[in-house]
Amino acid sequence: MKNKIKYSFIIPAYNEELNIPSIYKRIVEFSKQLHDTWELIFINDGSTDNSLKELVKLSDNNKNIKYINLSRNFGHQAALSAGLKYASGDAVISMDCDLQDPPEVVKKMIDKWKEGFDIVYARRQNFRKDNFIKKTGSKFYYRLLGKFANINIPRNVGDFRLVDKKVLREINKMPEHSRYLRGMVAWTGYKHTFVDYFRPDRQQGESNYTIGKLATLGMDGMFNFSVLPLRLGFLLGIISIVIGFILLTYQIFDSVVNNIYYHLYKWLSVMLFIFMGFLFMLMWIIGEYIGKIYDEVRDRPLYVIENMINF
Ligand code: UDP
Ligand code: MG
């Protein structure tokens, strides 16, 4: 008899009490057409509402439903990492809890996986419309990252994707603490493809990705996968030196040829502006790297699990 395939659905949930029952129903419904085994792993990322109660209820009734309960809110990427670590499927699908990542798209992803692709990204055809700042911000960000990242991180994809268990094995080996999973997945270099879809609006509740959280995620992507911040400092440094020299040459020329007298403070202020700006830029860059070193050196676990059910 042919071994049955097992699928893992990984769903981080932060204050999703209203969405958990619906996504559960959708996945159970969807899984019926798979004719294979599956597990659904929720990660309760320190929710302050009744999400945990909902998960307890679901996991009591159905042994395919598992949950990991984190001790506090560790953030989306950490929660997702926890789920990926304990997933036991042959193909692992990560998705949002709010039904913005429709289970129906998963069918297409599975087909691609069966064709032999190890990573299948769901690519959004429409752009975020929730918030002007988020929208333009992420457009600009992806363009920048696409240009400067040292690996090819696909555009317009979130964390809705399917990965083969061998990709997962690599991801789970990575100890880094500032986690940008879509970059890490791309970094493994396994064969990938895309499934396009229209991303619907969040079903219930508010987006938990505040602009602050989004910015942190973006910074992690930039600093972990590109040298753009370094180059930016370098560029600004060069520009300031060039401007400084132009001003300086002008003053020298003016005072020698036209015999104009320049007060000492004028000379000094030109120099001061240049070098102070230069120094600040360098300090900022060094600071970012020190921050990173600090983060790694602390070597804290990524998350703390309070309890795990049905494993
Ligand atoms: N999420 C999480 N921890 C957080 C923030 C979000 O686990 O600190 C989960 C959330 O429950 C959802 C997913 O991450 O399943 C994506 O979050 P959200 O829908 O708020 O982001 P958006 O779709 O607006 O990018
Ligand atoms: Mg969402």
CB of 100 closer than 6 angstroms to any ligand 1 atom: yes
CB of 193 closer than 6 angstroms to any ligand 1 atom: no
Kindly state the DSSP code that residue 263 receives in the 8-state scheme.
Answer: P
- Residue 112 reports pLDDT greater than 90: yes
* Atom number, ligand 1, closest to the C-alpha of residue 14: 11
- Residue 121 reports pLDDT greater than 70: yes
Helix (H) or strand (E) holding 123: strand 119-124
Backbone angles phi, psi at 186, to 5 degrees: -65, -35
Residue 201 φ/ψ region, left for φ over 0, alpha for ψ in the -120 to 50 degree band, beta for the rest: beta
**Region of poorest pLDDT, from 23-27, 73-77, 254-258, 302-306:** 302-306
Please report the pLDDT score of residue 289 as a whole number: 83
Q: How remote is the C-alpha of 297 from its chain's centroid?
A: 22
Kindly state the DSSP code that residue 156 receives in the 8-state scheme.
Answer: T
Share of the chain above pLDDT 90, in %: 49
Please report the pLDDT score of residue 294 as a whole number: 73
Please report the pLDDT score of residue 233 as a whole number: 75
| Residue 130: band (very low, low, confident or very high) from pLDDT cuts 50, 70, 90 | low
Q: For residues 283 and 297, give the distance between their C-alpha atoms in angstroms, rounded to a whole number.
A: 20
Q: Please report the domains of the chain, with CATH numbers, ordered by start residue.
A: 7-208+302-309 (3.90.550.10), 228-298 (no CATH)
B/e letters for 98-123, b = 16+ CB within 10 Å, e = fewer, are bbbbbbebbebbbebbeeebbbbbbb
Distance of CA 208 from the midpoint of ligand 1 (Å): 5
Distance of CA 213 from the midpoint of ligand 2 (Å): 13
Residue with more model confidence, 107 or 203: 107
| Selection from 244, 243, 263 nearest residue 255 by Cα | 263
Backbone angles phi, psi at 236, to 5 degrees: -60, -40
- Residue 273 reports pLDDT greater than 80: no
Q: What is the pTM of this model?
A: 0.81
Tens of pLDDT, residue by residue over 151-196, are 888 888 999 999 999 999 999 988 888 889 999 999 888 999 999 9
Please report the pLDDT score of residue 295 as a whole number: 72
Tell me if 118 sits within 8 A of 168, measured CB to CB.
Answer: no
- Residue 129 reports pLDDT greater than 70: no
